Amino acid sequence: MFVALVPPPEVVEDLSEFLAPRREAGTDLRWTDDEQIHLTLAFLPEVAEAGLDRLTEALGERLSAIDPAAVRLVAGGAFPNPYAARVLFAGAEPQPWLATLARAVRHTASHAGATVDGGPFHPHITLARMRRPIEATRWIRILQAYESPGWVADSVTLVHSQLGQGRQGRPRHTPVATLPLAPAEL
């Protein structure tokens, strides 16, 4: 499982339009399907069936105290580095708010009994994966030109990921719960 921000359809469409000619040129890359575009806040590799309700309730309670924020995708980069890249990504702003949100999600999930995995938080959306490491500075220069429309992130999604169950052996992502952030004040 994982907890993520899912951009609205108009942002995914804008990103897809930007990537379309790049996807044609980068046929050696495994591009992320549009319906799987998300910004991961926390990986939860082990969530017991019996603990799912407790996790969902705890996240819902904690997230209801966090104000929504305007988010946008900007530029991009490569993991682990541009010279031996395995992943191309689009960055996301505002980084301080996203880091605070990710910390809250990770802390809450851990206290609810879920195993939380992953290294330091780096707000991004995975665009493509490589079968073998490549030198990606050309791709990074292209991604530097990208900036998505902004959107108000007012909820996060708890997602069940079934590895190898999607199209061409990719993961299948099934939303389990959409958890709203603090309601807007009138």
Q: Which residue, 126, 124, 122, is CA-closest to 32?
A: 126
Question: What gap in Å lies between CA 12 and CA 8, rounded to an integer?
Answer: 6
Question: What gap in Å lies between CA 25 and CA 56, rounded to an integer?
Answer: 41
Whether residue 169 is predicted with pLDDT greater than 70 in this model: the reply is: no
Question: What gap in Å lies between CA 157 and CA 149, rounded to an integer?
Answer: 20
**3-state SS class at 115:** strand
Q: Report the range of poorest mean pLDDT among 59-63, 66-70, 145-149, 160-164.
A: 160-164
122 tagged catalytic: no
Phi, psi of 25 (to 5 degrees): -80, -25
The enclosing H or E element of 97 equals: helix 95-111
What is the per-residue pLDDT across 68-109, written as a single tens digit (0 to 9) for each? 999 999 999 999 999 999 999 999 999 999 999 999 999 999
Question: What gap in Å lies between CA 170 and CA 174, rounded to an integer?
Answer: 13
Strand ranges in 36-150 using DSSP code E only, listed in sequence order: 39-46, 69-79, 85-93, 115-117, 124-134
Residue 186 — very low, low, confident or very high, per pLDDT cuts 50/70/90? very low
124 tagged catalytic: yes
What is the per-residue pLDDT across 13-27, written as a single tens digit (0 to 9) for each? 999 999 999 888 767
Annotated active-site residue in 107, 122, 124, 160? 124
CA quadruple 119, 4, 101, 79: dihedral sign? positive
DSSP assignment of 157-171 equals EEEEEETT-SGGGPP
At residue 80, the pLDDT reads: 96
pTM of the model: 0.90
At residue 164, the pLDDT reads: 56
Structural domains in the chain plus CATH codes: 2-180 (3.90.1140.10)
| Residues in contact with 177: Cβ distance below 8 Å, sequence separation at least 6, in sequence order | 56, 59, 60, 157, 158
Residue 170 — very low, low, confident or very high, per pLDDT cuts 50/70/90? low
